[in-house]
Structure formats: structure tokens, C-alpha cells
Structure 1
Amino acid sequence: MREMSWYHTSTEPNWPARALDPISRLTEVTKERMRAVGSDGKSFERWAEGQLAKALHVGTYEAAIENMLRRMSDQDDAHEQFYLYRVQLHPESIIEPGVHKEPTNFVGDVVLEEVCTPGVNVYRYVNTREDPSSISLAVNVKAIHSVQGIPIPLPVETADPWVSRASARLLHAASLPIPEPKNALERMRRVLPTAVTLEAQKLTKEVALAMPAGLRDRFDVHFDDASLQADPSAFGSKLAGLAELVRNPRAVLRRLDQQP
């Protein structure tokens, strides 16, 4: 268990630094407002302690990639830059015996003190949402020995044949007028999707259909009509890169191997 590699995806470029210092991104105004809540003036300190008590989640490579795709489709994070992290546990980390049900609350938080015996900093559970039935860990940041990270998806060359064809399709669609509404429901819409937006949706669906069944509904890539002229290949490159995370994990792991 301690010798294995575990994975995590995040929009944080230096994860898990924020877990070590949860107040680093708060402005002084926000801090003062938080201190003003409650009668004892210690609301801010309690919030900071609560943030530090939350466990971090790591799991299989597949679970980490699926977590990213879920966030892209369900949490409006499709436009965000994601990072993949590979984690090694500390040799002296203390693991709770057994494998348990996922202990998260309704917002996905775990406080190890509430589910573990004193002194434990690693809790094993069955992941039911990403890479279902795989083992994931809820860990205290002190249980982490080392972290390697890379931005994902990996870049795909604009000369890649599929990316070139996707770019050509989008540029052609951009020259077409907005399609006429096909039914009463579409006629009721105030804003109809442009031809290029519809083409981007078709490309996304084509890529998604080649993915494992459990991932198809989670493929969602942010498309920006305005950015097409500036970089016609950006959308296709990102789609292809996301697909490669699933189809060619060895290339991703080799890139991680190159990190300090």
C-alpha cells in the first residue's frame, strides 16, 4: 500500500499546497468578515482548523481521470486547466485496518478524526463514483511523502491528422448561417446555437462514443466561438488530448516519470 502510486486531479497548480495553508487565497477583507461572524470572534480560526482537518482524496489513475471528467461535465469546469498528480505515501504513514464504505458527507468532505482511530492518517474506502469498486484513500496531508504533477491533457500537435480534420470542420461550420429551428421547442429559444457550436458538439460526441461506456456521458469540452479564429486547432487538440488520457495512459505516466 505504501509502495503504490496514487493519483489525484485538481485545478490547483501546486496541489496540495492549499491544504497546508487554506487561508492563503483569502483577502484581508474576507478574513475580517469571517471573524465578524459569531459572538466570540473566532469563526475564522474555527473555519481554518476545519479546512486543515479535511482529508485529501487519492485513488487509481482511472479514478483520477474520471473525477476530472465528472467535474468538467457536472461542475462547469470544462474551461479550467487541470493537473494530474502522482502521490507516494510516507513510509511511516498509519493506515486504518480494513477497507470501508466511502465516508464522505454531502459535499465530499472527510474528517479522519471522525472515522479513524487516533493517530491514523490513511483511510481506505471503496470508490463508488469514479472507477467504481476501486480502492481510494482519504489521507491527511502529513501522510504524503512525495508528489509529482503535470498539466493535462498532454499537448497534441496541430498537425495531427484528426486535429487537422476537426479544425477544418469547425472553420467550415463557422462560415455557415445559424441553422433554422426544426421544431416548436427550438423556435421558442431566444438564442439558437450556431452552426460551429453544433459542429463542436458533434466532434465531442464522436470522441465520447469511442470511450468506455462509463465515461461517454462525462465528455464535455468548453467551446468558445470567439477563440476559433485565433486558434482553430485548440478545441480539437484538447478533445484529442482528453481521449489520449484514457487510451494511452502509458504516455501520461512517462511524462510524470520525467518530473522531479
Structure 2
Amino acid sequence: MERLINFSRDRHMLCGSCGQRFLVDLDWIDRWQQEQEKCPGCALTCEHEDAPRVTVDPADPALDDDHVARLSWYHTSTHPDWPTKDFDPAADLIAETRQMMGGDQRVAAWAARQRRKALHVGTYEAAMHNMLRRDRDQADHGSQFYLYRVILKPPVVVRADWVIDPSDFVGDVILDNVCPSGINVARYLNYHEDPGGLSLALGRDAIAGVQRVTVPLDDTWDESWVHDAVAALENTTTHIAPTIGKLSRFRRPSSPRVLSGRELGASLARRLPVNLQHQFASAATFVEGDDPVWWARRTSGLLDLIEHPERVLAALDESELHYL
């Protein structure tokens, strides 16, 4: 069962001080994060510990335990075989690394901790947020991403209610901490990806199967925009002018081509909801040495994932369901 995909939907807020619940749009949240808005109940601004935060939409279908296994859930990854069968996090460690980690016994203990981590799935919007964040914040810029549609096993046991995002500072969740014995799935309020949406922490044994497509999809770019962007990049010099000033020796100046690519990416980002603009512009960064055609098609294709999710769902419908 698919949910309506809407990156621009209003969000529910809940104030930790006065308890007021209210509905806002994304522009309000952007202003609030800049201390330009206040709680309508107690006038707290965002810098206060008990200030309003996004909360769950009471009409979210995932709040119904019976719906959880019937809903489609999503995940983006650079791994073409997620979730990896017989996952061995220590398989690629070389002898020197094992020695630095303290020897085989400590490596085995580390690998066991890695295997106890929960898997994460969420809304389509959360999966796109995750991909852009990883492209921006981690060493995945330019990596090939895959979108997975996750089908849960019908007899899953869902933890009662929902919890605040239990992830640690690197985004990890120990499965036993949120899914005690007899529980397969825990719902949590996602603050970082599709803020206000419900995501799931679960084990591999809760997944019946997955469908996968490579993203961006092939041939979904805007040919007119790609043509103009490639022309702009190819007609821009790659010469880097010298930087003058006391800090010049500490800075590597950007070339005119990189600056042109940055503006081209930003021009597309401005078409998106405000909470995606910075992420998209960063993920669409043009790096000196990138092939202009590849970069323009990829950037336009990334935008299409957000503006036309129906194309992605159609591609997933045609993809093979791999049972786990």
C-alpha cells in the first residue's frame, strides 16, 4: 500500500514547554530555525531546550499496527545487495587493520556489535532525504545509489506506539534496545529525514523481500536543461585566477567552471521545498574533472526523483521482487 508522496506537506509541531500542538508549513519552520518565529502558545523560540519540535501527524497510517506491514517502506543505499545476506562486517579487513583494532578477538566482538545494529526504512521522502544527506555529508559524492522498496512479512509484531529517534550521533541503533524479545519492528519519529514522518527500526528477519531500482533513473532527465547546462559548462574556462590576500595560500580557489556548475545546481534547488534546497545544491556540486554530460544528466535526474516520484514507483512496479 502506497502513501501519498508529498515533500511539501505541512508539519505538526509540539511545544515541550506549553504543550501546544500546531500545524505549520516548511517556510515557517525555516524561519523558526532562524529565530524569526515563536511558539504561538508561550512565545519560545528555537534556541530554548523545550522549544517546539516536529511531531507525528496523528493521521499517519503507520500509527495503525495493522497497516505497518501493508505499507511500502523505502531505503537508499550504495550497496547493490542491501540488506546483505550473511553480513560479515569484518570480511574486508586486512591484517594490518585487524592488528590495529587489537587482534582477532576484538575484531570478532566489533563485528558482533555491527550485526546487532537495526536496519532503517522509512517513507519515500525519507529515502530521498537520506540519499541527498549522504551525498552531501559523507564520502558518497558521485556514488551510485539504489532505491529499495521494502515489503515486510505480514506477521510482524510492532512495538506499541512510537519512540523519539533512537539513533546515536552516527545514526546507529542497536536493535535489542528498541525491539526487545518478541518485537520485530519499532516505529520512531524521524527528525532528520522527512522530519515528522515515521520510520522503522527492524531486523533483517522482518523483511519479506525488496524491489530495487538504480537512481537516478535512466533517461528521466530534462533534455533541454541538460543541453543548456552542458553548453554553459563547456563554454566556461577552467582557468583558476590567482587568489590575492593574506589567506590565499590556505585556500584553493574555485574555477569558473565549478562556480558555473554550482549556480546551475542551485537554480534547480530553488524549485524544491526549502528544507531540501541546501541538501540538493550540495549533492549536485560540480567537481572539476566531472564530465559535463554525466553531471548534467545526473543532476537533472536527481531533481526528477523528487518532482516526479510516480516514475520511480512505476519502475519499481516493473522490477523483480527478491525474497529474503
Same fold (TM over 0.5): yes
Q: Is 1:17 the equivalent of 2:79?
A: no
Percent identity for Structure 1 against Structure 2: 37
Counterpart CA distance in 1 for 2:246 and 2:137 is 24
Equivalent of 2:105 in 33, 39, 42: 42
Residue 244 of structure 1: aligned partner:
304
Counterpart CA distance in 2 for 1:93 and 1:116 is 12
Equivalent residues of 1:95, 1:122 under 8 A apart: yes
Residue 178 of structure 2: aligned partner:
115
1:149 deviates by 0.9
What is the correspondence of 1:133-172 to structure 2 with a 5 Å cutoff? Answer: 133-156=196-219, 160-172=223-235
More displaced stretch, 86-95 vs 219-228: 219-228
Counterpart CA distance in 1 for 2:290 and 2:101 is 42
Q: 1:153 to 1:159 in 2, by over 3 A?
A: closer
1:221 deviates by 2.3
Deviations 1:26-70 (A, max 9, x none): 245268537843xxx522222222121110000000000001111
Which letter does structure 1 place at the counterpart of 2:224? Answer: P
1:104 deviates by 1.3
Equivalent residues of 2:178, 2:201 under 8 A apart: no
Q: Is 1:218 the equivalent of 2:284?
A: no
Equivalent of 2:240 in 178, 197, 210: 178
Deviations 1:12-36 (A, max 9, x none): 1111116x41236424526853784
TM-score (norm: length of structure 2):
0.71
Equivalent residues of 1:158, 1:233 under 8 A apart: no
Q: Is 1:57 the equivalent of 2:120?
A: yes
Q: 1:180 to 1:33 in 2, by over 3 A?
A: closer
Residue 73 of structure 2: aligned partner:
6
Q: 1:173 to 1:43 in 2, by over 3 A?
A: same
Residue 29 of structure 1: aligned partner:
95
1:258 deviates by 1.0
Structure 1 unaligned residues grouped into runs of 5+: none
TM-score (norm: length of structure 1):
0.87
What is the correspondence of 1:87-102 to structure 2 with a 5 Å cutoff? Answer: 87-102=150-165
Deviations 1:184-236 (A, max 9, x none): 478555532111111101101101111111000101224343343xxx31111
RCO (CA 8 Å, sep 6+): is it higher in 1 or 2?
A: 1
What secondary structure, in the 3-state scheme, does the structure 2 residue paired with 1:109 have?
coil
Greater helix share, 1 or 2?
1
Equivalent residues of 1:156, 1:238 under 8 A apart: no
Residue 69 of structure 1: aligned partner:
132
Counterpart CA distance in 2 for 1:30 and 1:144 is 36
Which letter does structure 2 place at the counterpart of 1:133? Answer: G
Which letter does structure 2 place at the counterpart of 1:210? Answer: R
More displaced stretch, 76-85 vs 123-132: 76-85
What secondary structure, in the 3-state scheme, does the structure 1 residue paired with 2:313 have?
helix
Q: Is 1:103 the equivalent of 2:166?
A: yes
Equivalent residues of 1:156, 1:240 under 8 A apart: no
Equivalent residues of 2:265, 2:299 under 8 A apart: yes
| RMSD after superposition | 2.4
Counterpart CA distance in 1 for 2:124 and 2:221 is 27
Counterpart CA distance in 1 for 2:114 and 2:251 is 43
**How many matched pairs?**
251
What secondary structure, in the 3-state scheme, does the structure 2 residue paired with 1:120 have?
coil
Structure 2 unaligned residues grouped into runs of 5+: 1-67
Equivalent residues of 1:112, 1:123 under 8 A apart: no
Counterpart CA distance in 1 for 2:126 and 2:78 is 16
Equivalent residues of 2:72, 2:151 under 8 A apart: yes
